[in-house]
Homo-oligomer: A and B are copies of this chain.
Amino acid sequence: MAKKSPRVTITDVARTAGVSLSTVSRVMNDNPTVDPALAERVRGVATDLGYTANPLARSLVLGRTQTVAVVIPDLANPTFQAILRGLSRAADDDGYHVLIADSAEQVEKEPTLATTTRRRTDGVILCAPRMSQDELTAMLPALAPAVIVNRPPQPGAPTVAADYRSAMTELVAHLYELGHRRVAFLSGVPGSASGAARKTAQAEARIAHADLEIVEFPAGVDFDSGAQAAGPVLAASVTAVLAFNDLVAMGLLSAVTAQGVRVPEDLSIAGFDDIPFARFTSPPLTTAAVPAAELGRRAWAAMSALLSGDAAATSLVLTPEIVVRGSTGPAPAS
């Protein structure tokens, strides 16, 4: 009825029910030390008045907001979207809310975003933070409780990550078995822990196979970066390429195909992540299936544990499965 809905407070309920604030508070919090009859009456008044406790006021006094923050490097990246989705739904199931902070690939914004969002929440989940190790360890205490996704185990915070290294090892082995000896790697942005893991795997592979050559091309993490890498890659006379991720692979695939290069007959291309659309390119992409939504779920589980206090700072690793599709094939006879 009221034109300017004046929020009904606990005081209103108390007054119209003829009891004290504490009683109403107790009733609303299902405190059993209240006379059932009285409780019922108060509850009645509360619903009549449409009363719900102001979460802000509760948060202030209780010291918890029932909300966590998630810092994401790029909301346009399907993998991060999947992590966010898994996390958000899991948190929701436990009655928690999620505040998102998209740093839009600007590494320098990460620390600020993390700290400012942390202050309005009960904890923060850092997704594939690209900030330096020093920065990270420096700010971690101020963020606690925090959980970190896709970065190496870290003192001071539980970690949830995919094993990019072993997945890359398998991908390289796959190409090697197909006869590829000279392959390109489109390396993604610097500072990425998963990027480092990929390179480690490649270095190991080169040691294991003296006749294997891997030439690195700097490139970004998105479709356009892949497309732009087409020229250099084609000029490098490799028979296969490992793209930083599926987006890059798709960009490359699209660009080389436009130039008449046949995939995989002339050139094999492998992606990484297995984003939802990796199977729909033509040919469909060979890639490493990173269980992103599951990572998100696990990240929440870790945060939830931290929040409940039963927190042995765990460090969980999920292993991606290689999925071989049409974009990789035998090396062309040279």
Supposing A97-B99, A97-B117, A98-B100 touch, asked if A56 and B59 sit within 8 A by C-beta, the answer is yes
Q: Are B75 and A84 in contact (CB under 8 A)?
A: yes
Chain B residue with the shortest CB-CB distance to A86: B75
Q: Are A54 and B119 in contact (CB under 8 A)?
A: yes
Please, which residues of chain B bring their CB within 8 A of the CB of A250?
Answer: 280
Within the assembled complex, what's the spacing in Å between the Cα atoms of A76 and B293? 10
Supposing A250-B280, A280-B254 touch, asked if A57 and B55 sit within 8 A by C-beta, the answer is no
Q: Mark A36-64, 1 if CB is under 8 A from B, else 0.
A: 00000000000000001011110110000
Q: Are B89 and A102 in contact (CB under 8 A)?
A: yes
A97 smallest CB distance to B (angstroms): 6
Q: Are A67 and B120 in contact (CB under 8 A)?
A: yes
Per a CB cutoff under 8 Å, which of B55, B98, B100, B280 touches A119? B55
A interface list, Cβ under 8 A from B: 5, 52, 54-57, 59-60, 65, 67, 75-76, 81-82, 84-85, 88-89, 92, 97-102, 104, 117, 119-120, 141-142, 223, 250, 254, 276-277, 280-282
Within the assembled complex, what's the spacing in Å between the Cα atoms of A59 and B104? 27
Q: Are A88 and B60 in contact (CB under 8 A)?
A: no
Chain B residue with the shortest CB-CB distance to A66: B120
Could you list 10 A-B pairs, sorted by A, with CB under 8 Å? A5-B141, A56-B56, A60-B60, A67-B120, A75-B84, A84-B100, A85-B102, A97-B99, A99-B99, A250-B280
Within the assembled complex, what's the spacing in Å between the Cα atoms of A250 and B142? 46
Q: Are B56 and A5 in contact (CB under 8 A)?
A: no
Chain B residue with the shortest CB-CB distance to A85: B75
Within the assembled complex, what's the spacing in Å between the Cα atoms of A250 and B281? 11
Q: Are B99 and A98 in contact (CB under 8 A)?
A: yes
A292 smallest CB distance to B (angstroms): 11
Q: Are A120 and B97 in contact (CB under 8 A)?
A: yes
Q: Are A56 and B65 in contact (CB under 8 A)?
A: yes
Q: Are A5 and B142 in contact (CB under 8 A)?
A: yes
Please, which residues of chain B bring their CB within 8 A of the CB of A117?
Answer: 97
Please, which residues of chain B bring their CB within 8 A of the CB of A76?
Answer: 81-82, 85
Q: Are A97 and B101 in contact (CB under 8 A)?
A: yes
Within the assembled complex, what's the spacing in Å between the Cα atoms of A131 and B76? 28
Please, which residues of chain B bring their CB within 8 A of the CB of A56?
Answer: 56, 59-60, 65, 119-120
A75-B81, A282-B282 known; 9 other A-B pairs, CB under 8 Å? A5-B142, A56-B120, A57-B60, A75-B84, A75-B85, A75-B88, A76-B85, A92-B102, A97-B117
Within the assembled complex, what's the spacing in Å between the Cα atoms of A97 and B67? 12
Supposing A89-B104, A99-B67, A280-B280 touch, asked if A120 and B81 sit within 8 A by C-beta, the answer is no
Q: Are B120 and A55 in contact (CB under 8 A)?
A: yes
Chain B residue with the shortest CB-CB distance to A81: B81
Q: Are B100 and A88 in contact (CB under 8 A)?
A: yes
Within the assembled complex, what's the spacing in Å between the Cα atoms of A75 and B100? 13
